[in-house]
Amino acid sequence: MALRNGPDEFGLVTRVMHWVMAILILVMLALGLRISSMEPGLSNLWLYGLHKTLGLTLLALVVLRILWHLASRPPAPIGPPGRMRLFVKTWHWTLYGLMIAVPISGWAGSSASGIDTVFAETFVVPPLVQPSERAEFVWFILHEIFAKTLLGMVIVHILAALRREMGGDGTLTRMLRGRA
């Protein structure tokens, strides 16, 4: 079981990062949908703190994952040639872009609110923008748009992986076991 990616297989590091991030993203999207419908109060303030902590954790993980892909190139994709392969590659990079944009826009929105962004109830993270009601509104609208776009893309990503696996191409198997 190799840690690094090979020409035809995903290494353990890539697979662990993929599945940990997948689970955290699904948890974050569900938590975000829940807290967006709540009125902030003392009884639920911890959920906002948890959301911020997990969001900053995901931001760090996606940066690490991109750096890892530069150090240990993923194997070539199985399946579609030509334009479809370009589409899939663009889709994946758009997912990465959203995985960066969602937490940064949330962090900026929190900064604009004038309320500290605290990581793990311990560390105050520096603000990204100056407090401003207008900036808070804009950043949180962007955060919502990015998050809902990410949710839609994640659903399509899951369905496409299942469809391809049922078609027998081995892409999902490779992300689970390393090899198709």
- On the question of pLDDT at 180 being above 80, the answer is no
Q: Answer yes or no: is 139 within a domain.
A: yes
Q: Answer yes or no: is 100 within a domain.
A: yes
Whole-prediction pTM: 0.92
Q: Answer yes or no: is 125 within a domain.
A: yes
3-state secondary structure the chain: CCCCCCCCCCCHHHHHHHHHHHHHHHHHHHHHHHHHCCCCCCCCHHHHHHHHHHHHHHHHHHHHHHHHHHHCCCCCCCCCCHHHHHHHHHHHHHHHHHHHHHHHHHHHHHHHHCCCEEECCCEEECCCCCCCHHHHHHHHHHHHHHHHHHHHHHHHHHHHHHHHHHCCCCHHHHHHHCCC
**pLDDT at residue 85, as a whole number:** 84
143: confidence class by pLDDT, cuts 50, 70, 90: very high
Domain limits for position 95: 12-177
Which residues are 118's β-sheet partners? 124
11: confidence class by pLDDT, cuts 50, 70, 90: very high
Do the Cβ atoms of 74 and 90 come closer than 8 Å?
Answer: no
**pLDDT at residue 78, as a whole number:** 82
Lowest mean pLDDT among 12-21, 37-46, 67-76, 144-153: 37-46
**pLDDT at residue 145, as a whole number:** 97
Q: Answer yes or no: is 5 within a domain.
A: no
**pLDDT at residue 103, as a whole number:** 97
Q: Answer yes or no: is 86 within a domain.
A: yes
Within 10 angstroms of residue 36's Cβ, the number of other Cβ atoms is 12
pLDDT tens digits, 79-132: 777 888 888 889 999 999 999 999 999 999 999 999 899 999 999 999 999 999
- On the question of pLDDT at 60 being above 90, the answer is yes
Q: How many domains are contained in the chain? A: 1
Q: Answer yes or no: is 7 within a domain.
A: no
Q: Answer yes or no: is 3 within a domain.
A: no
Q: Please state, rounded to an integer, the average pLDDT across all residues of the chain.
A: 93
Q: Answer yes or no: is 98 within a domain.
A: yes
Q: What is the CATH number of the domain that holds 87?
A: 1.20.950.20
Q: What is the mean pLDDT of residues 54-74?
A: 97
**pLDDT at residue 179, as a whole number:** 81
55: confidence class by pLDDT, cuts 50, 70, 90: very high
